[in-house]
Structure 1
Amino acid sequence: MNKEEIISHINQQESNSIKFAVTDIDGVLRGKLISKEKFLKSLDNGLGFCNVVFGWDINDATYTNTMVSGWQTGYPDSLSTIDINTLRKIPWDDDKLFFLGDFEHSEDLNKVCPRSLLKRIQKECNDLGYLPNFSNEFEWFTFVESPHTLQHKNYMAPVPLTPGMFGYSILRSSQHSHFVNSIFDSLHDFDIPVEGLHTETGPGVYEACIKYDNILSAADKAVLFKSSVKEIAYQEGVMASFMAKWNKELPGCSGHIHQSLWDIESKKNLFFEQSSESKMSSLMESYIAGQLHCLPFILPMFAPTVNSYKRFVEGSWAPTTVSFGIDNRTTAFRVIRSSQEAIRVENRVPGSDANPYLSMSASLASGLYGIKNNLKLEIPVTKGNEYDNTTTEPLATNLHKATKAMKESDIANELFGEEFTDHFIKTREWEWKQYDPQQANWELKRYFEIV
């Protein structure tokens, strides 16, 4: 719908309120209910948010090391822009209207806003003549808990929705069919079409694959997917967590990103080459080479929390090295060649705790880096078990090391701009400094509900 049609649609709604949200640096939706009258005025003028939305951490503690937002700024309002193309109705909230926005036109926040960053990288890709089609798949654990029960027992021993290890289980899905069907059907009605939903190996764990779309819409859907699953779980009397690794004895939760570049008319997948033995075009090879080259220096974009790095262990279905393979789930990047239309590269590095705007920005920007610099695939393709490979560069083992590598390289500045990179690095340095391993269940308290 165009703007006039949007206005007409809003005026026809019985509800006097509209839900609107932006996304902070950690990928958390920050929003509010707006009256129809105020919302309609804001279509042109923008909606004000205190600039602390980029000046506090995931637990609302204000940064003392950032320049964009902080006490030194006085915390003024910054104007967010409403994206009318994100109009949705929330099926589990009486079809209330919902919109997303960003700070693309804000003088003080546009350079650090994750959604605005993705729009800039998407435009760069389009200017090169490519259409990026992406999708996210997520794993998450579900618990017979509430925020109150967890707090009451100091986050000790959260109780999973179902017991035991039972991947692809029809029985477990049937056991809680109302919850599972509510997710699948409600998300479809919320314009987040899910292609597949099943149990994974682990107690109370599910995996869902979102249908691919242009990269901005794909990131919008990924951000909304996580929040929607949590909201639906609350209404079912349970709790969903997208922590990367809530229990060291169990598999972690991934947020894999599927990527391909098409011609601008979206008629041809440019990653496919019939004459190539691998079926990969030279464009795809350079794209993967760029991702491999940049990965060690942008890892916090994929693994942004202290907990993220607990997932990178051998034999856990998560990568541990800078590697790629053909349909190989032990590597960081997995090439999938099921058909000319579906050929793509899966980035298996991000966990479910990653901010989709940032993980997709980093995936696309590093791939374009390889194309622009005509990089060749010099890292050999992994055949067999990458966990047994002792010659491949390992991923950083904690947030401190990964952030230090990002800070000491010029790669991130080139990919994302100096202002964003400086702000993001400082937020990750802050995150590491908050870590208190002596405090019981520190990671669960910080990340369990919110990421």
Structure 2
Amino acid sequence: MAPNDTRKVHTAETIAKELENDVCVKVSGSDIDGIPRGKIITKAKFVKSLEEGFGFCNVAFGWDMLDKTYDESVQVERGYSDLLAKIDLSSFRRIPYENNVPHFLFDFHDPIANSPFKACPRSLLKKAIKDCNDLGFAPLCGVEFEFYNFKETPESINAKNGVNLTALTPGMFGYSLLRPTLNSKFFDEVYHHCLAYGIPIEGFHTETGPGVFEAALEYGDALEIADRAHLFKKAVKQIALKHGIISSFMAKPYADLPGCSGHMHFSLKDIKTGANAFVDDGNEESAGGNEAKAAMKGMSDTMRHFIAGLLEALPSILPLMLPTINSYKRLVENNWAPITVSYGIENRIAAIRLIAPPTCPKSATRLELRVPGADVNAYLGIAGCIAAGVRGIKKKIEPKFPPVQGGDNGVLGERLPRTLKDAVNLMMAPGSVAREVLGDGFVEHFGRTRLHEWKQWETAVTNWEIKRYIETV
């Protein structure tokens, strides 16, 4: 079995054999923004760390994506002591575009509390998966990313102050068979290197917009898909740099062009039977005259409760899906991005799209959350959805309105928060759903990092302001 096969069980002995001819190992974990933070270590140190982990400076959670340290409101140990990095042997893969160096993911552990670190994204997802498993279900998901590509380098972007960038290709060419030809080596390397890296891409094509690609990652177990989504961004960016290209997962690079989504698909597998738990088996509980149930023919009560839980939680967990200032500029009317708490059958304008027969095989019944942008930290986005859905199943929550059908938007739900600050205030409010399903420790840390992001925006002088006011006022 190849090292990139899903969740192969490894021991220290089997890993030692796998690394027989290696001299070093790459290890990394996810920070709160989803940015891989890691290092190369000697094989000897790696082997020594397998049982108890190794020290990793907690500044990884004490600074933002540009390495600016947070103020005192974000609580990290200010001496910047070490957290423990605990290696997950089942994450073993090799990086094909880096001389096949072995790569392992790790989780951040709090050595004082002797528990997973409160802000570790991967640990948060593991907890959500365990809560789902305790109900008898295994969460499955898939992730799609859209991303812009530019004929730029880090040096040229810096020289241009990030504006007036040259797109990889001009024009609007969604699903084009022409445009990939212009940069076929880059396009093909992304596909094949990702496959060799253990990130199979189910579908890869151009999306509408200058130099935009979209990749749909193969469906699978939630933790594995989150790992793949996390590493996919890194892989694309690294491969792009080798071709003199900058790939961007920013949600809305241009005000007048489509944004970049990070859609997520979900279903639950019955652990005992292996069947799709979102499919109505004909023995579902009675929901009386429930209008939503009547409209969701072929979908199970479990699916309906999961959806209702997600709908109820969505405003509260929104910062997990839309984590940056820019995220919210993608959610605008008439742009295929959802702006309300809503769900619909085969509706790509609603926040949640229900996918069921006759438009797919019964076994492929699932939901698609269309809210996240490509800037989402997949660990957090997937964790939030699963936790919200599990809450819905436990409490047997019912949707407050029926799903809209097809292109009919009908009466959609409440407007989603318009800014990061508004969304964070909902998340951090006493008694919020987010606090219930994610825990106070995580919400306090994550929420305050997002308020830090808002403060950076509030004091920034933008190109828009310069252009509008420099001469006129």
Deviation at 1:105, TM superposition (A): 5.8
Instruction: Using structure 2 for the length normalisation, give the TM-score.
Output: 0.89
Instruction: Answer with 2-11 or 168-177: which moved more.
Output: 2-11
**Matched residues in 1 for 2:373 and 2:281: separation?**
33
1:317 maps to what in 2?
Answer: 336
Q: What is the aligned-residue identity percentage?
A: 45
Deviation at 1:66, TM superposition (A): 3.9
Q: Please give the secondary structure, in 2, of the residue aligned with 1:393.
A: coil
Contact 1:133/1:214 (CA < 8 Å) preserved in 2? yes
Q: Which amino acid in the other structure matches residue 327 of structure 1?
A: E
Choose which of 404, 418, 422 in structure 2 pairs with 1:401. Answer: 422
**Matched residues in 2 for 1:128 and 1:392: separation?**
29
Q: Which amino acid in the other structure matches residue 321 of structure 1?
A: T
1:203 maps to what in 2?
Answer: 210
- The alpha-carbon distance between structure 1 residues 273 and 422, as it changes in their structure 2 partners (threshold 3 A), is same
**Matched residues in 1 for 2:208 and 2:112: separation?**
46
Q: Please give the secondary structure, in 2, of the residue aligned with 1:44.
A: coil
Residues 172-218 of structure 1: per-residue CA shift (max 9 Å, x gap) = 01221111110111101000010000000000001001111111111
**Matched residues in 2 for 1:119 and 1:314: separation?**
35
Residues 88-145 of structure 1: per-residue CA shift (max 9 Å, x gap) = 1101011011010012464466121110111111111111100101111100000000
Q: Please give the secondary structure, in 2, of the residue aligned with 1:11.
A: coil
**Residues 1:11 and 2:20 are matched in the alignment:** yes
Q: Which amino acid in the other structure matches residue 404 of structure 1?
A: N
Structure number with bigger Rg: 2
Q: How many residue pairs end up in the alignment?
A: 437
Q: Please give the secondary structure, in 2, of the residue aligned with 1:270.
A: coil
Q: Please give the secondary structure, in 1, of the residue aligned with 2:226.
A: helix
Q: Which amino acid in the other structure matches residue 371 of structure 2?
A: V
2:298 maps to what in 1?
Answer: 279
2:383 maps to what in 1?
Answer: 361
Contact 1:155/1:441 (CA < 8 Å) preserved in 2? no
Q: CA RMSD in A?
A: 1.7
Within-5 A mapping of 1:233-248: 233-248=240-255
Which blocks of at least 5 consecutive residues in structure 2 are unaligned?
A: 1-9, 283-293, 465-473
Deviation at 1:379, TM superposition (A): 2.3
Q: Which amino acid in the other structure matches residue 15 of structure 2?
A: I
Residues 194-247 of structure 1: per-residue CA shift (max 9 Å, x gap) = 000000000000100111111111100000001110001011111100000010
Instruction: Using structure 1 for the length normalisation, give the TM-score.
Output: 0.93
- The alpha-carbon distance between structure 1 residues 79 and 167, as it changes in their structure 2 partners (threshold 3 A), is same
Within-5 A mapping of 1:37-76: 37-66=44-73, 68-71=75-78, 74-76=79-81
1:185 maps to what in 2?
Answer: 192
Q: Which amino acid in the other structure matches residue 421 of structure 2?
A: H
Deviation at 1:287, TM superposition (A): 0.4
Choose which of 327, 351, 376 in structure 1 pairs with 2:346. Answer: 327
**Residues 1:139 and 2:146 are matched in the alignment:** yes
**Residues 1:32 and 2:39 are matched in the alignment:** yes
- The alpha-carbon distance between structure 1 residues 143 and 67, as it changes in their structure 2 partners (threshold 3 A), is closer
Contact 1:245/1:308 (CA < 8 Å) preserved in 2? yes
Which blocks of at least 5 consecutive residues in structure 1 are unaligned?
A: 443-451
Q: Which amino acid in the other structure matches residue 406 of structure 1?
A: M
2:469 maps to what in 1?
Answer: none
Contact 2:341/2:412 (CA < 8 Å) preserved in 1? no
Contact 1:84/1:99 (CA < 8 Å) preserved in 2? yes
Contact 1:62/1:70 (CA < 8 Å) preserved in 2? no
Q: Please give the secondary structure, in 2, of the residue aligned with 1:380.
A: coil
**Matched residues in 2 for 1:139 and 1:360: separation?**
17
Q: Which amino acid in the other structure matches residue 237 of structure 2?
A: K
**Residues 1:304 and 2:335 are matched in the alignment:** no
2:163 maps to what in 1?
Answer: 156
